[in-house]
Chain A
Amino acid sequence: MNKRFGSVILDTTFRYLVPFILVYAVYVLFHGEYSPGGGFQAGALFAIAIVLDRLVQGDKAPLNIHGNWAVIIAGIGAMIYALVGITSILAGGNMLEYGMLPFVHDVVERHVLGILVIEIGVTVCVMATIVAIFDALARREDLL
């Protein structure tokens, strides 16, 4: 992408916006259990940070994820979620029964951990999916 947003002021503003969006995304992810938010919203925020970074800086962007990798990472995100379910089956419970997860002793802690891990899986999946679609669109129009 050679034209970016067309002016130095806009480019610089959006570049400095990216870290704040990332921090907010992490906040939304980790507070998703107690307040509005959660995996889907945090994933969208992460994706927006990556897309903005890439729109401004092109292929040199530090947060750049290549299209093929984005699809793979999206699959990994969905797999993290499914693995939590399979882990609880292997530990003797039902699918996604967080109380049976084997890693911590306290039942409530297990629930918190299980929900956090599946939220992270959702976040990774949503983020990588949006980035993959953006990447495919950008390559189709030869913008990158």
Chain B
Amino acid sequence: MRKLSYVSLLIMVFIFLATATGLPVLFDSESPAAVNVSPRYIEKSHEETGSLNFVTAVLADYRGYDTLGETTVIFTAGVAVVLLLRAGKKNGNDSEVDGE
């Protein structure tokens, strides 16, 4: 079973490395995102979203789905932290905490 997981891990690594070469080069100013998407945001965000500030237009309008995900991540992380803190609650067998 363990060998199987190692083999599948190797296969996954190989697939990721093989497909990574197909991605645009990092910080490439000729990549499709830099050539098409960014100028569109700058030139048309006002007429398309009516927002005076295109940071807001991108954050809340073009990438509203992304921001929804961020909010959900914060909520999930908060719930996880609260659950962990409550699960590890001390039962008084620890020495006195420093009274702070």
Contact = CB atoms under 8 A, between A and B. Distances in A.
Partners in one complex: yes
Interface residues of A, number: 44
A77 B71 contact: yes
Interface in A44-99: 67, 71, 74-75, 77-78, 81-82, 85, 95-96, 98
A100 B50 CA distance: 14
Contacts of A126: 71, 74
Contact of B82 (A35, A96, A98, A133): A133
Interface of B: 49-53, 56, 59-61, 64-65, 67-68, 71-72, 74-75, 77-79, 81-82, 85-86, 88-90, 97, 99-100
Contacts of A137: 85
Contacts of A81: 67-68, 71
A125 interface: yes
16 contacts: A33-B52, A38-B56, A74-B79, A95-B64, A98-B61, A112-B51, A115-B60, A122-B71, A129-B77, A132-B78, A132-B82, A133-B82, A136-B82, A136-B85, A140-B85, A143-B100
